[in-house]
Every structure is written in structure tokens, then in C-alpha cells.
Structure 1
């Protein structure tokens, strides 16, 4: 009973034989990979200018085989990060030289995005050292000169000019697309303007435009857009269009998604503008078109009213006169 029993060792065994266990911080337990691994430099994994998302994304891209898809939508389906964070991480890697993206036109006319990944930005690709051969006894043999990339044999000089080089696909951003001299676009029609933009019309049009977001949240307009579109709405109100009719016209059948609400409203205000209401005389003329109105006359004998172009006697009095005669 006097012997003390030891239930736990004074310190844990060292994870790495021969190395002292650190008192704090991370402890590495490393095993050599035999297959399925990628060599990534510490300049990337410990980069102080990149975010953790960008570092992880670069490590993932460097582990992919050539030809793998690394578009923003494809990566967003693969990882829980949003498209916005993935796009920002790609821009970080592009800014620090780990990625280079360009849009190129293929010989068949299609435009694709070409992405080049660099595991060591700034390094010369031709400076990679080739493996040194060894003799049967294990001693290194005489080092061979580094392999040289194949070079195209230049054509022999001839008195005639050399053939034209084969056109290579160039980045789309490097070329300037200039429209043909004859190409022209039709400008949009001008916004309707009222005959007199009174303060009452201005306030009513501004209130109607600002109130559209209550009925359609997609139509949330800025103050500048409201001031610009207000004369068009004032023209509708000037032509006796009811505010509910205007609101229904502007908020019905909206596209989804709606990218430019102000442009859509400008188009509808301009193209769907109703004509002015006709006057009373125009309505009377439209009620019985082509009908000739014969005036009323008073009979000279019985004073009865009858229709005739000339004064005289009514039908009954004319009959009595013919009978008497």
C-alpha cells in the first residue's frame, strides 16, 4: 500500500521519433504519399496576400487533371461557397499570377475561356530539372545536358517571300471590334412630354412612380430615374388616364429577372401612351356617322311639326288638300 501507483505517463510519447514535441502550436504527423498526391509550394499555402478561399481554390485547381472544368458555376456546384466568393477568389489568384484567364476564338468561330494555372508564378517552365540517370552500381552517371524544347525548322532562304503564317487564335480582349461603317442603331423614341408640366402633374407623376415598388418590388427606382420618367407619366395624366390604369400597365407581365427597371418603364411609357380623349363634337359625329339630319318644320295649316328641307304642309294636310281639289 505504500507503493505509489502510476496511472498515466508523465508526458505523451513524441509523435515523430527523435523530434521534441512542441509545447504549443500544431503537431504534424506526416506519412509519405505513394499515390494520389499533388506537390504544392509553401509560397501558396502560406501566402500572406491571399484569402483562405483563394488558397484552397488554388490547391484544388492544381490537383485537377488537364482539361478539367473550373468555371464559376461548376465550382459553385462542387463547393458550398457562393458564386460571388468563388469569383472573388479567382480574381485574387489571377492578380497574384497563379491563374491567367483569356477569351479566345476557336477556328470554328466559337468563343471559349482559356484558363492557365501556374503552380509557381514567375518561374521559367523550361528550367525544370530532368531526372539524372544512374549506373548499375548506384553512382550517378555523367549529367546529361538539360532537354531542349523542340524547335521548328526554319525554311531555307529563297528568293521568293516565305508563305504567310497560319493565323493563330488571339484573345478576344486584345482585338478591337469595330462595327461596319454602314451599321447603325435606331435611337429609342423620346419620352413623352406634357403640354404644360404643372406642379400638380409633377407631384402626381412622382408619387405614382415612387409607389410602384409597393405593387412590384422589382420596380424600385432611384430619385434620378423618377425625375427622368416623371414627364412621361405626367403626359398620361394630362390625357385623363386613371392612375390605376397607369399602374396596371407598368406592373403587369414583368420579365424575370428584371435587370433594368428604368429602361423597361421608359419603353412602356413611350410605346403604350394612349391618345388624347376626343371632344364632345367628335363623339357626336362618331355616334351616327354618314347620317343626314333633316330639320323640323311647322305645318302651315295645322301647325304640326314634321321633317322636311322646305316649309309647307305635313303629310295629312297635303292629303286633305289633294282630296278637296
Structure 2
């Protein structure tokens, strides 16, 4: 039985055969034949992007055209919060990898279109690999020694590695727009704060109508706790509600117009109420046609009998005689 050599250097656990590196990472590369994505070193070794932004860029680049990459969808897919994912998307947008556009559909709805670039937009790409060109044969007989000169063997193709340089740029298809949301979610009504001069006002001053409008606005929080208006906002919006009441819109109709179909996230209750009071103002009711009533009663000048006629005179029997 041999004697154990205590001075020998112990073998490192998990050593990789064929590697000459003594420090740092050792790559064990396996050639991919399907289900892989080519990522450039300009992204994987970016100096300004965070790790979350680079990982999110690699994930987006691996997705097919038409995949959903909205903030809520990514937050449901990964453990990071919506804020961190939104910050990472802004990093990619500032670096030129991501572009978000606001487009209006034929239906009038405004949506966000997202385009991802595997090369930074406006950046410098890696130069293409030089192409070997074989010289054309010269006319006429060539020397025998030159014909026997051996040709250099072509270099073997290197295995693709994760840390390899950017491969040859290939023609890319036109980037398709990606829907920004994972599922149909009711979007909040982000409306600008209306100018007080554009709010509807009543044609006549009626203290009772203005008092009813103030009570209606102050009681909106009974129907939805998010519709809490300050005293100044109630005084500013009360004339607009009075204009609705002046146009024969009952309090229940005004309350339904202000509380029906509220968005899921309400950030400015007074702005939403002002927008609806201005945009949904009903027209005045048309005047009802007056029907002609019966003629008044008249007293006959001959027989003192009552009869209906437009003017005083004699009844029909007396006129016939």
C-alpha cells in the first residue's frame, strides 16, 4: 500500500479537462442546433445597462414577433416589481434597443407600439467578416512549379461561444409591432384638467338649483369612496351641475353620468368629474308642441243656452232658424 503524499497539490473539485485557465470562469460550450438566440457582446457586456435591463433585453430578443411585453405581463412572469421592470425598459429605450410609439387605431383608440432592435438604434455595428476571393487563373500555360504549389487549407470554423464576437450581420425582417398589454385591462381616464372657463354654466341664477348641485357633488363619495371632492372643488364644479339641472336632467341622471363606468385606477377625481360634466353635457329639451284646446263656453244671445265657440254669438239651433 502506497504512502500518502501530504505535500501534493489536491485536485480541484469539478475541474474541467482541456482548460488552461487557472482563474476566473471556465466555459463548457455545447453547440446549439435549435431553440437558441444570438446575442451581441454590445448588449451582454454593456457598460451602462443594469443586469436587469440586460436580462430583460435577452428575454425580449428571444420572443417571437407579436409576443406581449407589457409591464404588467412581465411583472406577472418574473419576480421583479412593475417599477423595476419599468426602469429597465426605460434603460433599454435610452440605450437605443427599445422604441415605444403612440399610434391611433381606426376606431380612435390610442395604443402603444413597442419595437425592439437587436442592434442599438443609431449605434455602430461590428464590421462584417472579410470574404476570401480566389484569384482568377491567368491566361496561358503556367510554370510547373507554380502548379504544384500546395494551397493553404481553409481554417476550421470555430465553435460558437457565449463570449464570442458579434457574428456576421444577417438581413433582418421588418420589426413587427408588439402589443403592450398582456390582457384587456380597463385603462384609467387620464384627462387634462379642464379650464374653469370651459365648464358649462347655467343661463339663469337659481340659488335652489345651485344648492342642489352642491349637495349632489358632496354626496358622490357615498356611491364610490374614490370620488372625494374638496370644498373648493365642489364650489368650482357646482355651476356645471346646475347647468345640467337647468336642462331638465334630474339628479339621478347626473349622478349616474358621473359614477358609471369608472376606471380601475382613479388618480384625480375632480378632473374626471369636470371632464364628464363638460363632455357629456346634454342638449336642452325641445319645446313640446302645444295642442289646441276646446273653444270656451259662450251664452246664446237669443235662447241663453250655453255652447262652445271662439267668439260670442248665437247657438247653432238659433242660427238655423
TM bracket, shorter-chain basis: 0.3 to 0.5
Structure with greater proportional helix content: 1
* Bigger radius of gyration: 1
After TM superposition, the score normalised by the length of structure 1 is 0.45
After TM superposition, the score normalised by the length of structure 2 is 0.46
Where relative contact order (Cα < 8 A, 6+ residues apart) is larger, the structure is: 2
